[in-house]
Amino acid sequence: MSKTFAAIGDISQKASFDQIGPGLYAFSGQGNPHSGVIIGEDAVMIVDAQATPAIANDLIACIGRVTDKPVKYVLLTHFHAVRTLGASAFKGAQILASDATRGLIAERGRQDMECEIARFPALFMARDGVAGLTWPTITFPDQMSVWLGTREVRIMHVGRGHTAGDVIAAMPDCGVVFAGDLVTSKAACYCGDAHFTDWPATLDNLAEMQASTLVPGRGDVLASAEDVKQAIDETAAFVTTLFASVQDSVGKGLSLKDTFDAARHVMDARFKDFTLYDHALPFSIARAYDEARGVEWPVIWTVERDREIQAALQG
């Protein structure tokens, strides 16, 4: 059956603003990318900036209802446009990211922005305020701590997964972790820029932190250690099930289309009701097909490549 190119039913500009810990909030909606809010003694940090300044301004209005402290930092957990292009709304804030994320912005940020605007029209309806790419002002190789007064935000690259530059933000004072798209909850993992071989070990590193609450990239906030474990395990199952199927097909010499059909048969049994499943699967299987054939570094997505893959695999 032919599928619509853009993701239309699973996302919207509507979002909620919920307290998830002391001075900690999640700005989220059904299928939407999450943003985190960390309030310290003297300043605020945002974890992921939303897709456009217009949506980020909605977040700023929510913050204004709970604190008058300034937003001094915006952390980008990775390079994707739906996480980064709203950053210009946070005037004067330092933009933090891993060295690898900055490199990915330089290498493929422009193409990713064009792709994501085409993929997610609902999120980019108010894209007129997007002036261009978001460039980090502070980068780090693996780990850094930012102190909001006496409150520490520990930022860590715990391994490659969703992208090569993923970082998490951990709150040592209360056990809350903002995981970016390394973890999703009842939402399909987008794997178009993924490193399948690394991702399971990265999730093991994350699980060892034993977070009491975890904010995933998409889906419900995980509010107990049991829920956190379940979501990490489910994310690992999604990634490993998909890649194992693709590896099997590549070993048999199957075409990309036949590989997609075989993986879809395996994945549907457990994951077909996940948010963004139909939308993400062609990109994810195309990347898995490359990696299984030895292409270690993800091929850059363009709008033209998006449409070619979508047409070849889903009609």
pLDDT of residue 196: 98
Q: How does pLDDT run across 245-269, given as a tens digit for each residue? A: 999 999 999 999 999 999 999 999 9
Q: How does pLDDT run across 126-159, given as a tens digit for each residue? A: 777 898 999 999 999 999 999 999 999 999 999 9
Neighbouring-strand partners of residue 177:
170, 214
Nearest 5°: the CA angle 249, 251, 252 is: 65
- Residue 2 and residue 14 in contact, taking contact as beta carbons nearer than 8 Å: no
Nearest 5°: the CA angle 278, 185, 170 is: 135
- Domain 16-314 class? alpha beta
Domain parsing of the chain, residue ranges: 16-314
H helices of 12-78, in order, are 53-64
Name the percent of the chain in helix, strand, coil, to the closest 5: 40, 20, 40
pLDDT of residue 123: 84
Run of H or E including 46 = strand 44-47
Residues 295, 107: Cα–Cα separation, whole Å: 17
Q: Which of 124, 157, 162 is nearest to 142 (CA)?
A: 157
Mean pLDDT across 237-243: 98
Mean pLDDT across 7-35: 78
pLDDT of residue 14: 65
pLDDT of residue 293: 98
- Residue 205 and residue 161 in contact, taking contact as beta carbons nearer than 8 Å: no
Neighbouring-strand partners of residue 203:
none
Q: Which amino acid is at 183?
A: V
Name the pLDDT band for 168 (thresholds 50, 70, 90): very high
Please check the confidence at residue 29 and state whether its pLDDT lies above 90: no
pLDDT of residue 263: 98
Residues 132, 139: Cα–Cα separation, whole Å: 19
Residues 100, 97: Cα–Cα separation, whole Å: 8
pLDDT of residue 31: 61
Run of H or E including 145 = strand 143-148
pTM higher than 0.85: yes
- Please give the mean pLDDT across all residues of the chain: 94
Residues 2, 80: Cα–Cα separation, whole Å: 26
pLDDT of residue 129: 82
Query: Per the structure block, which two tokens stand in for 290?
Result: 């490359």
pLDDT of residue 36: 98
Mean pLDDT across 118-122: 89
Neighbouring-strand partners of residue 182:
none
Residues 277, 10: Cα–Cα separation, whole Å: 9
